[in-house]
Structure 1
């Protein structure tokens, strides 16, 4: 089974950086649009459409950020768990190796 399942914790770390970049880009886009007011654009109908878009964009970007944050937390937790398992396995194998070389094992 171990031959078919591998986890690269460095890749998980890179994925976390990508997610953080997405949140940063989303916030920058929303901030840039926040300075544009609908009453600066033109007709009343266009102004109303822009106001509606701004409201939907804000809501959608906030929802997207929450989802990205939730995924990030899950990936962080999984990365930490994989690293802890790797450390425990490394310690166990070192302990077994030490027992084998110290004569602590008995052959029957």
Structure 2
């Protein structure tokens, strides 16, 4: 590894959590919009607009959420690889983090 290259595992963990939260929010918003319709707003025009919006964005939001899930999974693999490499190097020097 070159000089100055450092991986912060806690930052990777935070990014994984943020990606997971964002895809949950996208799916939740889509579900809430689906549940808004002729039976809930009381306005036929608004109900139709909600239905049209849902229909036009349903596939796109699903694709974004699915893509976010793929990124999250790959980031977890990357984080775990760095964590394993760090542990192997530490163990290779005969310690669990302390100097000998």
Query: TM-score, with normalisation over the residues of structure 1?
Result: 0.73
Q: Return structure 1 stretches of 4+ with deviation > 6 angstroms.
A: none
What is the match of residue 67 of structure 1? 67
The unaligned stretches of length 5 or more in structure 2 are none
Deviations 1:53-95 (A, max 9, x none): 2112211110011110010011000000001100110111118
What is the match of residue 28 of structure 1? 28
The answer (yes or no) to whether the contact 1:38–1:50 under 8 Å persists in 2 is no
Query: TM-score, with normalisation over the residues of structure 2?
Result: 0.79
What is the match of residue 51 of structure 1? 51
The residue matched to 1:6 in structure 2 has which SS? coil
Once structures 1 and 2 are overlaid, which stretch shifts more, 66-75 or 31-40? Answer: 31-40
Q: Which structure has more helix as a fraction of its residues? A: 1
Larger radius of gyration: 1
What is the match of residue 42 of structure 1? 44
Deviations 1:23-60 (A, max 9, x none): 111122112111112585334xx82x543321122111
The unaligned stretches of length 5 or more in structure 1 are 96-100, 102-108
RMSD of equivalent CA atoms = 2.5
The residue matched to 1:7 in structure 2 has which SS? coil
